[in-house]
Amino acid sequence: MPILARRQCSLDRRPWPQRVSSAATRPLTRYLSSQAAYPHGFGGSLIGRLWVKETANVNDVALDVLAPAGGEDILEIGFGPGRTLGKLAERGARVAGVDVSGEMVRLATRRNQELVRSAGLGLTQTDGIGLPFEDGSFDVVLSVHNLYFWPEPATTLAEIVRVLRPGGRALLVFRGREHPLPKRLDPAVYREVTTAQCVDWMTRAGFVTTSRVRPPAVSTEVSFVLGSTSA
Protein backbone atom coordinates (compact mmCIF):
# COMPACT_ATOMS: atom_id res chain seq x y z
CA MET A 1 0.00 0.00 0.00
CA PRO A 2 1.60 3.31 -1.02
CA ILE A 3 2.51 5.77 1.70
CA LEU A 4 1.24 9.23 0.95
CA ALA A 5 3.37 12.18 2.04
CA ARG A 6 1.50 14.82 3.98
CA ARG A 7 1.76 18.19 2.33
CA GLN A 8 2.48 21.18 4.48
CA CYS A 9 0.40 24.14 3.39
CA SER A 10 2.33 27.40 3.67
CA LEU A 11 -0.75 29.60 3.31
CA ASP A 12 -1.41 32.03 6.13
CA ARG A 13 -5.00 31.21 7.11
CA ARG A 14 -5.39 33.90 9.72
CA PRO A 15 -8.18 36.47 9.21
CA TRP A 16 -7.10 39.09 6.71
CA PRO A 17 -6.99 42.00 9.24
CA GLN A 18 -4.38 40.06 11.25
CA ARG A 19 -2.38 39.32 8.11
CA VAL A 20 -2.44 42.97 7.04
CA SER A 21 -1.44 44.10 10.53
CA SER A 22 1.48 41.66 10.65
CA ALA A 23 2.72 42.76 7.23
CA ALA A 24 2.49 46.41 8.21
CA THR A 25 4.38 46.06 11.49
CA ARG A 26 7.07 43.60 10.32
CA PRO A 27 9.48 46.29 8.98
CA LEU A 28 9.26 48.23 12.26
CA THR A 29 9.84 45.07 14.30
CA ARG A 30 12.88 44.22 12.17
CA TYR A 31 14.25 47.76 12.49
CA LEU A 32 13.88 47.96 16.28
CA SER A 33 15.33 44.49 16.78
CA SER A 34 18.27 45.36 14.53
CA GLN A 35 18.84 48.50 16.56
CA ALA A 36 18.87 46.41 19.74
CA ALA A 37 21.55 44.20 18.21
CA TYR A 38 23.64 47.07 16.85
CA PRO A 39 22.48 50.53 17.97
CA HIS A 40 23.49 53.24 15.54
CA GLY A 41 22.42 56.67 14.37
CA PHE A 42 19.43 58.53 15.76
CA GLY A 43 17.48 55.32 16.33
CA GLY A 44 20.34 53.81 18.29
CA SER A 45 20.66 56.91 20.44
CA LEU A 46 16.93 56.88 21.16
CA ILE A 47 16.75 53.19 22.03
CA GLY A 48 19.81 53.57 24.27
CA ARG A 49 18.08 56.26 26.28
CA LEU A 50 14.94 54.11 26.58
CA TRP A 51 17.02 51.21 27.90
CA VAL A 52 18.09 53.21 30.95
CA LYS A 53 14.66 52.73 32.54
CA GLU A 54 13.42 49.72 30.59
CA THR A 55 16.22 47.40 31.71
CA ALA A 56 16.94 48.95 35.11
CA ASN A 57 15.19 46.29 37.19
CA VAL A 58 16.85 43.31 35.49
CA ASN A 59 20.26 44.97 35.72
CA ASP A 60 19.81 45.81 39.39
CA VAL A 61 18.82 42.22 40.14
CA ALA A 62 21.88 41.03 38.21
CA LEU A 63 24.07 43.15 40.48
CA ASP A 64 22.42 41.63 43.54
CA VAL A 65 23.09 38.13 42.17
CA LEU A 66 26.73 38.95 41.50
CA ALA A 67 27.20 40.78 44.81
CA PRO A 68 30.41 42.47 43.58
CA ALA A 69 33.00 43.22 46.22
CA GLY A 70 34.96 46.43 46.51
CA GLY A 71 38.24 46.25 44.63
CA GLU A 72 37.12 43.61 42.14
CA ASP A 73 37.87 44.08 38.45
CA ILE A 74 34.63 43.72 36.49
CA LEU A 75 33.97 43.61 32.76
CA GLU A 76 30.54 44.26 31.25
CA ILE A 77 29.90 42.95 27.74
CA GLY A 78 27.25 44.94 25.89
CA PHE A 79 26.97 47.82 28.35
CA GLY A 80 24.46 49.87 26.33
CA PRO A 81 23.93 53.37 27.75
CA GLY A 82 26.25 52.60 30.68
CA ARG A 83 23.95 52.77 33.70
CA THR A 84 25.18 49.49 35.18
CA LEU A 85 28.81 50.48 34.75
CA GLY A 86 28.21 53.41 37.08
CA LYS A 87 26.38 51.20 39.57
CA LEU A 88 29.31 48.78 39.65
CA ALA A 89 31.73 51.63 40.25
CA GLU A 90 29.54 52.89 43.10
CA ARG A 91 30.06 49.50 44.77
CA GLY A 92 33.81 50.00 44.70
CA ALA A 93 34.64 47.89 41.65
CA ARG A 94 37.16 48.74 38.96
CA VAL A 95 35.17 48.61 35.76
CA ALA A 96 35.69 48.09 32.05
CA GLY A 97 33.18 47.62 29.25
CA VAL A 98 33.04 46.43 25.65
CA ASP A 99 30.27 47.02 23.12
CA VAL A 100 29.92 46.62 19.36
CA SER A 101 28.22 50.00 19.07
CA GLY A 102 30.11 53.25 18.81
CA GLU A 103 26.88 55.06 19.71
CA MET A 104 26.68 53.15 23.01
CA VAL A 105 30.32 53.95 23.73
CA ARG A 106 29.46 57.62 23.22
CA LEU A 107 26.36 57.51 25.46
CA ALA A 108 28.08 55.53 28.21
CA THR A 109 31.10 57.83 28.13
CA ARG A 110 28.90 60.89 28.52
CA ARG A 111 26.87 59.25 31.29
CA ASN A 112 30.02 58.27 33.20
CA GLN A 113 32.30 61.10 32.16
CA GLU A 114 33.81 61.64 35.62
CA LEU A 115 34.74 57.96 35.88
CA VAL A 116 36.23 57.97 32.40
CA ARG A 117 38.13 61.17 33.09
CA SER A 118 39.62 59.73 36.28
CA ALA A 119 40.58 56.48 34.49
CA GLY A 120 38.17 54.56 36.73
CA LEU A 121 36.34 53.23 33.69
CA GLY A 122 37.63 52.03 30.34
CA LEU A 123 35.24 51.58 27.39
CA THR A 124 36.13 49.79 24.16
CA GLN A 125 34.28 49.21 20.90
CA THR A 126 34.82 45.61 19.77
CA ASP A 127 33.77 43.16 17.06
CA GLY A 128 31.54 41.26 19.49
CA ILE A 129 33.71 38.12 19.33
CA GLY A 130 37.11 38.64 20.96
CA LEU A 131 37.99 40.52 24.14
CA PRO A 132 40.95 42.93 23.94
CA PHE A 133 42.37 42.11 27.37
CA GLU A 134 45.21 40.03 28.76
CA ASP A 135 44.65 36.64 30.37
CA GLY A 136 43.33 36.79 33.93
CA SER A 137 42.37 40.48 33.84
CA PHE A 138 39.02 40.27 35.65
CA ASP A 139 37.30 38.78 38.66
CA VAL A 140 33.81 39.10 37.19
CA VAL A 141 32.18 39.31 33.74
CA LEU A 142 28.58 40.45 33.32
CA SER A 143 26.37 40.49 30.23
CA VAL A 144 22.65 41.36 30.25
CA HIS A 145 20.32 40.85 27.26
CA ASN A 146 23.26 40.53 24.90
CA LEU A 147 23.93 36.83 24.34
CA TYR A 148 21.43 36.62 21.45
CA PHE A 149 23.56 38.95 19.36
CA TRP A 150 26.99 37.35 19.75
CA PRO A 151 28.29 36.31 16.30
CA GLU A 152 30.25 33.37 17.73
CA PRO A 153 28.97 32.50 21.24
CA ALA A 154 31.40 29.61 21.75
CA THR A 155 34.38 31.83 20.92
CA THR A 156 33.22 34.67 23.14
CA LEU A 157 32.56 32.33 26.07
CA ALA A 158 36.05 30.87 25.68
CA GLU A 159 37.36 34.44 25.69
CA ILE A 160 35.47 35.14 28.91
CA VAL A 161 37.10 32.12 30.56
CA ARG A 162 40.50 33.33 29.33
CA VAL A 163 40.20 36.85 30.79
CA LEU A 164 38.82 35.63 34.13
CA ARG A 165 41.13 34.99 37.05
CA PRO A 166 41.10 31.65 38.91
CA GLY A 167 37.81 31.39 40.76
CA GLY A 168 36.32 34.15 38.64
CA ARG A 169 32.63 34.23 37.85
CA ALA A 170 30.43 35.23 34.93
CA LEU A 171 26.73 36.04 34.86
CA LEU A 172 24.73 35.89 31.64
CA VAL A 173 21.19 37.27 31.69
CA PHE A 174 18.86 36.75 28.73
CA ARG A 175 15.34 35.78 27.70
CA GLY A 176 15.44 31.99 27.32
CA ARG A 177 13.79 30.68 24.16
CA GLU A 178 12.13 27.86 26.03
CA HIS A 179 9.59 30.69 26.43
CA PRO A 180 7.82 32.31 23.44
CA LEU A 181 9.59 35.31 21.97
CA PRO A 182 7.49 38.49 22.34
CA LYS A 183 6.01 39.62 19.04
CA ARG A 184 7.86 42.93 19.26
CA LEU A 185 11.18 41.05 18.85
CA ASP A 186 12.26 39.68 15.47
CA PRO A 187 13.34 36.00 15.61
CA ALA A 188 15.61 36.62 12.63
CA VAL A 189 17.66 38.99 14.80
CA TYR A 190 17.35 37.44 18.26
CA ARG A 191 19.32 34.18 18.22
CA GLU A 192 17.38 31.25 19.64
CA VAL A 193 19.16 30.41 22.91
CA THR A 194 17.55 28.27 25.58
CA THR A 195 18.79 28.21 29.15
CA ALA A 196 19.94 24.60 28.70
CA GLN A 197 21.94 25.61 25.62
CA CYS A 198 23.62 28.43 27.52
CA VAL A 199 24.61 26.08 30.36
CA ASP A 200 26.01 23.61 27.83
CA TRP A 201 27.99 26.30 26.01
CA MET A 202 29.47 27.59 29.27
CA THR A 203 30.45 24.10 30.37
CA ARG A 204 32.12 23.41 27.03
CA ALA A 205 33.95 26.75 27.25
CA GLY A 206 35.61 25.72 30.51
CA PHE A 207 33.43 26.88 33.39
CA VAL A 208 33.73 24.29 36.15
CA THR A 209 30.39 25.15 37.76
CA THR A 210 27.33 26.51 36.00
CA SER A 211 23.92 27.03 37.54
CA ARG A 212 20.68 28.85 36.90
CA VAL A 213 19.66 31.41 39.51
CA ARG A 214 15.98 32.31 39.91
CA PRO A 215 15.64 35.79 41.47
CA PRO A 216 12.07 36.33 42.76
CA ALA A 217 11.85 39.91 41.53
CA VAL A 218 12.15 39.06 37.82
CA SER A 219 9.94 37.13 35.39
CA THR A 220 10.86 33.47 35.01
CA GLU A 221 11.17 34.12 31.27
CA VAL A 222 14.46 35.90 32.01
CA SER A 223 17.29 33.45 32.71
CA PHE A 224 20.22 34.19 35.03
CA VAL A 225 23.05 31.72 34.40
CA LEU A 226 26.05 31.97 36.72
CA GLY A 227 29.33 30.20 36.01
CA SER A 228 32.70 30.08 37.74
CA THR A 229 36.20 29.11 36.69
CA SER A 230 38.52 26.76 38.54
CA ALA A 231 40.24 28.23 41.59
Q: How many CB atoms lie within 10 A of CB 220?
A: 11
Supply the pLDDT for residue 75: 98
Structural domain contains residue 132: yes
Structural domain contains residue 191: yes
Structural domain contains residue 217: yes
Structural domain contains residue 4: no
Q: Burial, 182: exposed, middle or buried (Cβ in 10 Å; 0-12, 13-18, 19+)? A: exposed
Which strands, in side-by-side order, build the sheet including 121-125? 121-125, 94-99, 73-77, 138-144, 164-175, 222-228, 209-213
Mean pLDDT on 30-44: 91
| Spatial distance between the Cα atoms of 113 and 225, rounded to a whole number of angstroms | 31
Structural domain contains residue 141: yes
Among 16-25, 34-43, 167-176, 211-220, the minimum mean pLDDT is found in: 16-25
Residue 161: give the domain boundaries: 17-228
The predicted model scores a pTM of 0.87
Among residues 140, 207, 219, the alpha carbon closest in space to that of 176 is found at: 219
Whether residue 201 is predicted with pLDDT greater than 70 in this model: the reply is: yes
Supply the pLDDT for residue 15: 54
In total, how many domains does the chain have?
A: 1
Mean pLDDT on 214-231: 94
Q: Tell me the CA distances in angstroms from 68 to 141, 146, 190, one per residue in order.
A: 10, 20, 29
Structural domain contains residue 12: no
Whether residue 104 is predicted with pLDDT greater than 70 in this model: the reply is: yes
Structural domain contains residue 151: yes
Higher pLDDT pick, 20 / 198: 198
| Spatial distance between the Cα atoms of 228 and 167, rounded to a whole number of angstroms | 6
- Give the pLDDT confidence of 156-165 residue by residue, as tens digits: 999 999 999 9
Asked if residue 59 lies in contact with residue 83, where contact means CB atoms within 8 angstroms, the answer is: yes
Q: What is the CATH number of the domain that holds 224?
A: 3.40.50.150
Mean pLDDT on 184-198: 94
Structural domain contains residue 163: yes
Whether residue 230 is predicted with pLDDT greater than 50 in this model: the reply is: yes
Whether residue 96 is predicted with pLDDT greater than 90 in this model: the reply is: yes
- Give the pLDDT confidence of 53-90 residue by residue, as tens digits: 999 999 999 999 999 999 999 999 999 999 999 999 99
C-alpha distance across the termini of the chain, in Å: 64
